[in-house]
Homo-oligomer: A and B are copies of this chain.
């Protein structure tokens, strides 16, 4: 495996609200086909990237088998920069499974949307932008980019009442590397010392 394969960028779509569109016959939101490759073109990403659609489902209907499918796929691909589009309701659960199986060189960032990209007021492309930057700037690990922030995947939850993602204490047994003693997240800025190509 060459270095360039290691640093390449891949978008994996699992569906979720970000991929939904109104189906004319039903008059309801649903899926027809993935737009992920169309979006990457719109966003004018100049480096090498590729996209793949793993499934197109509502994340509330995602089973353990589905999560294992996603994790096994991440464990198999060559890319180090992995952006995963996913429904928001169970994004944290799938991220936890992927965290167990990802390769050591991989940075995985989950994102999605509260409003489908097919709607004119969507947060989707902004969120993909956050994920695309984060996946290149952060060391290997699993993260979630939503609500204007990037969170370690084991230190975030979706607050359904507010419709936002928010930081929580990590689930790890030992004190988290991400937290101070008082439970707030430690603030340490990163030094930009290179590039991601």
Q: Is A133 an interface residue (CB 8 A)?
A: yes
List chain B residues, Cβ under 8 A from A85.
none
Provide the bound-state CA to CA distance between A138 and B89, in Å. 29
Which residue from B126, B134, B164, B194 sits with its C-beta under 8 Å from A178? B194
Within 8 A of B (CB), among A52-80: 58
Of all chain B residues, which has the CB nearest A179? B194
Q: Is A171 an interface residue (CB 8 A)?
A: no
The number of chain A residues touching the other chain, given as a range, is 35 or more
- The answer to whether A192 touches B143 (Cβ under 8 A) is yes
Which residue from B22, B107, B162, B177 sits with its C-beta under 8 Å from A193? B177
Q: Is A151 an interface residue (CB 8 A)?
A: yes
Of all chain B residues, which has the CB nearest A141? B192
List chain B residues, Cβ under 8 A from A34.
none
With A134-B137, A137-B190, A189-B140 in contact, is A46–B197 under 8 Å at CB?
no
A-B residue pairs, 6 tightest by C-beta = A129-B129, A45-B148, A185-B195, A186-B194, A190-B190, A126-B129
Q: How many copies does the complex hold?
A: 4
With A29-B29, A114-B44, A121-B118 in contact, is A195–B166 under 8 Å at CB?
no
Provide the bound-state CA to CA distance between A190 and B143, in Å. 13
- The answer to whether B194 touches A191 (Cβ under 8 A) is no
Within 8 A of B (CB), among A1-38: 7, 9, 17, 20-22, 24-25, 27-29
List chain B residues, Cβ under 8 A from A184.
195
- The answer to whether A147 touches B44 (Cβ under 8 A) is yes
Q: Is A127 an interface residue (CB 8 A)?
A: yes
Q: Is A182 an interface residue (CB 8 A)?
A: no
List chain B residues, Cβ under 8 A from A189.
107, 137-140
Give chain B nearest CB distance to A179 CB in angstroms.
8
Q: Is A94 an interface residue (CB 8 A)?
A: no
List chain B residues, Cβ under 8 A from A140.
189
